[in-house]
Structure 1
Amino acid sequence: MTDMHENFTITTMADYSYYYDYNDTFAPCDYVEMISFSKTYLVTLYSFVFILGFLGNGLVVCVLVKHSKKANVTDLCLFNLALSDLLFILTLPFYSHYIMVNHWTFGDFMCRFSSWMHQTGFFSSIFFMVAMTLDRYVVIMYTHRVSQYRRMKGCLGLCLVVWFLSLFVSLPTLCFTKETNETHRLGCSYSPENKNWILYEHFATNVLGLIIPLSVMVFCYSRIIPTLVNLKTIKRHRVIKLIIAIMVIFFLFWAPYNISLFLKFLFSNGTIPSSCDMDTQIKLSVIVTEALAYTHCCLNPIIYAFVGQKFMKRALQIVKSVRFTSYASSRKSSVVSRSSDVTHAAVM
């Protein structure tokens, strides 16, 4: 990889090539320990996120599909949020394999497609959280004015807009992410030829992915909480704690990653002095904070779905039905097996 090409190559959510990039504008640095750490840390955490995220979000989807006839606007938003998280985490096995073998083996199409889906899942998940925040704000602050306009058709239209916006914002990832021929291996990286697309990527990740969503949450919930405090209901303290938890968890999980990406951008532009120690520290910070941010999709089912008593009852019913079906199937298999043994003994 040439120096010019490297200057135009940035780290995105679907670009892991920099873990193995030894070519720098200054003296070669030793990345052996960092690569070893990233393999162990990322693959372990990605596996953890994939399993928990798939089970949690999958259960949300199953519950909402089973009770779709009784679904309301909130349920529809939860359903799309779970789909966004599932779309996001389903790409993690590809990147885990890429990190482990230091070689992209899935072809150029999957390189582009998985990166696009990864980014789309990231943005749609955040956009749906913003949509749910705005919905809560409107319902609580302007209940009587909007009750007649808050309908399923309108919510369906909003969900389509969110998906379209997420796909559109992630479109540069589809266009500029490609399979690359590197030294003794094939890579998969985001490599635009125009530096303006690098600025766009940082703008989209930091502004659309953190600053605007967090600002919306702070504004809406800062006005919702005083209203809830004045309500004479037993559940108000529980709701207030949930609202505060939503904002704090979102900030703690995503802010460190966005800060690390911004520091890497400053380092690549020469704003931060180049050195091996600084380069290693920034890359390690991106690795650690990135994986931490990804675990947020495992918490969404807990934060938005499982805290509701009605939803929890429905989820437990599905889990119990699955366990009962599995138990009945094993019992039937055991009975058939014993019957087969008796018949075989009689024939003998």
Structure 2
Amino acid sequence: MLEMTKSGHSSTMDLPDGDDYDYHDNITSNFSYEDYHTVCEKADVRSFAGVFLPVVYVVCVVLGLAGNSVVLAVYIHHKRQRRTMTDTFLAHMAIADLLLLVTLPFWAADAVRGWELGPSLCKIVSACYTVNFTCCMLLLACISLDRYLASTVMSHRDQGGLCRVFTRAHCWKVCLGVWAGAGLLGVPDLLFSTVIEISGRRVCLALYTHSLAQEAKACLEVVEVLLGFLLPLVVMAWCYAGVVRALMRLPVESGTRRRRAIRVLVVVVVVFMVTQMPYNAVKIWRAMDSVYSLVTKCEASKALDRATQVTESLALTHCCLNPILYALLGTSFRQHALKAVKAFGESRRRGRREEQREEQAVEMSFNNSHSASQETSSFII
């Protein structure tokens, strides 16, 4: 019987000979519902993954690397200036996004040719994907909480212990807690991921013992949904609702700025829900199916496989949108970015002026040397 782990890997220690398996699109859409008495042929699902996933991953890598690299560059350039907690969270989120994007070429190659890199790299890449995906979602909650606390200061309301904990002095502790919480979800991948051959193709997936397969995959799916979606969504909704209330209390003459800020908050929440909700809904359905065997037909299994491939690809696009939503739309970061561009332009101009001065100095030296040589020759003659 083939079981499925949190990321959609087929997982069991008792694989039936000849049964087809659901293709492992990145580390996610490799679930297989093979509790049938007949074989469910899924060659068409694998063919779809082999074309669709590499294209999506290439787009995500190109756009995500560019945007998140800019965020880190601006953060590093202003290392001597006073940074807010949101600035630090943005930098950590950019690092998590970059580490997540680094794993996508491995899964793109896996989608086309299967896993050919050995079990050790399978463990590392699988764990890296899970840790950084979850870390990004938790950091979104931290950013919303920091903005909410800033609005309470603006409206002269004290949040007591929360304000005392969520300060720049404790920022590194908050970030460490986020990384540690996300790291715990990567432990199962690090321990149980391996490479096996199914239907003539090597795949990287997490294998649990038969007695733990159903319980483990269901629990991991639920925990990932709680930490990676529901908790950030609740925190964002509650915090941004408080920010909107604080903005509504601003003077009437600041109406334009207030409307612009509210639009940004609405866009942030809507984009989060549009990109993350479909994938997490599929994960909940998978967790229920692993316990109650809801999917009993081959066509339904194929449809769920494709749904996971598409919805998780949609969820990954958030890595490309994060720099735009949380950095470029933020006033503080935008000011830092403009200063960095200005400083870069000034350094380029200074460099060109120095080069021009050096060229002029060399030219003058050459002319002087040439004149001296002419005078000497005349004198000798």
TM-score tier by shorter-chain length is 0.7 to 0.9
Q: Note the C-alpha offset of 1:25.
A: 2.7
Counterpart position of 1:213: 232
SS in 1 for 2:80: helix
Counterpart position of 1:49: 60
Counterpart position of 1:250: 272
120-129 or 64-73: bigger deviation: 64-73
| Cα distance in structure 2, aligned partners of 1:197 and 1:300 | 31
181-190 or 244-253: bigger deviation: 181-190
Q: Note the C-alpha offset of 1:12.
A: 0.3
| Cα distance in structure 2, aligned partners of 1:282 and 1:215 | 27
Q: Which one of 188, 199, 203 corresponds to residue 172 of structure 1?
A: 188
Q: Note the C-alpha offset of 1:303.
A: 0.4
| Cα distance in structure 1, aligned partners of 2:9 and 2:63 | 20
SS in 2 for 1:132: helix
SS in 2 for 1:18: coil
The answer to whether 1:12 aligns with 2:28 is: no
| Cα distance in structure 1, aligned partners of 2:300 and 2:218 | 22
Q: Note the C-alpha offset of 1:142.
A: 4.3
Q: Note the C-alpha offset of 1:277.
A: 1.4
Q: Note the C-alpha offset of 1:189.
A: 0.3
Counterpart position of 1:222: 241
The answer to whether 1:81 aligns with 2:93 is: yes
Whichever residue aligns with residue 235 of structure 1, its letter is R
Counterpart position of 1:25: 35
Count matched residues.
322
Q: 1:149 to 1:38 in 2, by over 3 A?
A: closer
| Cα distance in structure 2, aligned partners of 1:138 and 1:23 | 46
Q: 1:121 to 1:85 in 2, by over 3 A?
A: same
Q: Percent identity?
A: 26
4+ runs deviating over 6 angstroms? 13-17, 20-23, 146-149
245-254 or 170-179: bigger deviation: 170-179
Structure 2 segments unaligned to the other structure (5+ residues): 12-20, 25-29, 356-381
| Cα distance in structure 2, aligned partners of 1:49 and 1:14 | 22
| Cα distance in structure 2, aligned partners of 1:63 and 1:131 | 20
Alpha-carbon contact 1:177-1:188 (below 8 Å) kept: yes
Superposition map of 1:31-180 within 5 A? 31-70=42-81, 71-101=83-113, 103-143=114-154, 144=156, 145=158, 151-180=167-196
1:105-153 CA-to-partner distances (Å, cap 9, x unmatched) read: 1111111111111111011111111111111112212455477876432
| Cα distance in structure 2, aligned partners of 1:261 and 1:310 | 36
Whichever residue aligns with residue 266 of structure 1, its letter is M
Q: Note the C-alpha offset of 1:163.
A: 1.2
SS in 2 for 1:189: strand
Q: Note the C-alpha offset of 1:171.
A: 1.4
The answer to whether 1:266 aligns with 2:281 is: no
| Cα distance in structure 1, aligned partners of 2:89 and 2:301 | 41
| TM-score normalised according to structure 1 size | 0.84
| Cα distance in structure 2, aligned partners of 1:267 and 1:172 | 20
1:194-220 CA-to-partner distances (Å, cap 9, x unmatched) read: 233212211222111111211111122
Alpha-carbon contact 1:14-1:115 (below 8 Å) kept: no
| TM-score normalised according to structure 2 size | 0.77
Alpha-carbon contact 1:123-1:209 (below 8 Å) kept: yes
Instruction: Please tell me whether Structure 1 or Structure 2 has the larger radius of gyration of its CA atoms.
Output: 2
Alpha-carbon contact 1:120-1:167 (below 8 Å) kept: yes
Whichever residue aligns with residue 225 of structure 1, its letter is V
